[in-house]
Structure formats: C-alpha cells, structure tokens
Amino acid sequence: MKLVVTIVRDQDAGRVLDALIAREYRATRINTAGGFLKRGNATLLVGVQDDQVDEVIEIIQEVCHRADGAGKSNGAGVLFVLPVAASFRA
C-alpha cells in the first residue's frame, strides 16, 4: 500500500478531488500554506494499492497541468509517494 501526498494550488484542489472521486479514489484535503507553491495551497492524502499509484499520479497531473505565458507546459503541484506499513479503520 502507498500514500500519495500531493500539494496543489487551492484553485486546483477541488477539481483534483472531483477527478479522483469520479474514478472511485478517496482523498483527504488539508488546506495548507508553505514554500512549495508560495501561495495558498491544499495537501491531498490518497491511500492506494501499489498497482493504483500510476493512475492516481496521472489523474493529478492531468488536472494540474498548465501552460505558462511562453506556452511552455509546467506542472502545478508536487507529489510524494510513501510506503505504508499498515492501515486500520478507526
């Protein structure tokens, strides 16, 4: 199992969550601020099976992909994939 931790712009967070939910992934949103994007952002936590990681990353990248003023394509977020030793329901 893996935990995908994603930091995205505030304005992208709702669309990312909608896209993940449409593909039956569940996520937790935490409104955050920090140095990665230097403005309001959101941290999304998505727990997935190992074989689902690539699909989740693709969904997030697709939603957050943007072009800058010069027409060059840039990602608009940061993703981390962490191993999960165990998970439990409370």
The arrangement of secondary structure in 2-83, i.e. its CATH architecture, is 2-Layer Sandwich (3.30)
Taking 3-state DSSP, the helix, strand and coil percentages for the chain, each rounded to the nearest 5, stand at 30, 35, 35
Query: SS3 for 65?
Result: coil
Say what the pLDDT of residue 70 is.
52
Say what the pLDDT of residue 67 is.
47
In tens, the pLDDT along 64-83 reads 876 455 555 556 689 999 99
CA 55 to chain CA mean position, Å? 11
Nearest-angstrom CA–CA distance, 90 and 82: 21
pLDDT at 31 over 80: yes
- State the pTM of this model: 0.84
pLDDT (mean) for 33-52: 85
Say what the pLDDT of residue 75 is.
60
* Amino acid of residue 51: D
Say what the pLDDT of residue 24 is.
96
pLDDT (mean) for 49-57: 97
Say what the pLDDT of residue 30 is.
95
Kindly indicate the confidence band of residue 39, based on its pLDDT and cuts at 50, 70 and 90.
confident
